[in-house]
Amino acid sequence: MTDARKIALTWKIRESLRTEGFDICGIAQASPHHEDSNHISEWIAAGRNGSMTFIERNLDKRGDITSLVEGARSVIVAGLRYFSNEPSAGSDNYFVSRYARVRDYHAVMEEKLDRVQKIIKKLVPDSSSRVFCDAGPVTEKAWAIRAGLGWRGKNSLVINKDIGSFFFLGEIVTTAEFLYDYTSARDRCGDCTLCIDSCPTGAICNDRTIDARRCISYLTIEHDGNLPGEFSGRTENMIFGCDRCQEVCPWNKKAVHYTDKELVPEVSLTSLTRRDWQNMTPDDFKKIFRSSPIKRTGYKMIRRNIDFANYGSPEKG
């Protein structure tokens, strides 16, 4: 493919990503990076994945993205901001992570990227592509950094200097060729340790990874069974996820409310009171969260989280 053709194709795909509402995007050259699977293996060996054994599968593919699409040449990475800061129904309300206050981002991101993928196919008929969003053996954070979207913060999240860290990631792995972005791994966290110091359960490790066994997000979303008693009173009013490390990050001072209409939820979760949550039936749960990522956790686990938050609340010792 000629340079002129690459320039034209790259411009059209970037324009299509902007049309879809993505706030940031970048393109990296597809190639093996076995260090990715090595880092994950070390993290697993330390037991920091908790009960998430699915991460142990396909480790070889996590280190070689070209194994996911034969002949892959490019990895397109796109970010969609989801920040919101609406006041809760009451000062004593339960907390739900901001990512779950919008429509299930998996569906939103995949639909957007599928439309872009079709454009690639139209422009490059002999190309093959696959869309990924928090699925499959793709090391999303590593590829976001390679595509120039930001750096890995001390809280393990990718931080972008313009929009912070409240954004979803999605990828298109394709055999089509583009102009690739210049990437800089510059660490802009400096000496700041606000995220580490503010974590309620001390889950942030000193190597920019998270010990899932101590992470409130993992405990309230992924962990089966009873929640560890050592965290009683430390999950505060959080019943689904935790944004603390992002809330204190100086780079999120620039975060602004999302504008993409496809993210608008059917029900505003911040309007739900404690009484609404406590009186919720299984049928209510299905109706309210039918297009929410919360449905994946299920009614029983949400009830467990509510009971744990109540037990550990200050007024109940």
Q: Among all residues, which ones are annotated catalytic?
A: 134
Distance of CA 236 to the CA centre of its chain: 22
Tokens of 317: 């010792």
Residue showing tokens 């120039």 = 148
Taking CA atoms, 242 is separated from 9, 25, 34, 144, 245, in Å, by 40, 26, 31, 22, 8
Task: Write out the DSSP string of 44-68.
Answer: HHTTTTTT-GGGGTTHHHHTBGGGT
- Of 230, 165, 164, the C-alpha closest to 202 is 230
CA distance 296 to 138: 21
Is residue 208 within 8 A of residue 154, CB to CB? The reply is yes
The neighbour count for residue 120, using CB atoms within 10 Å, is 23
CA distance 291 to 266: 7
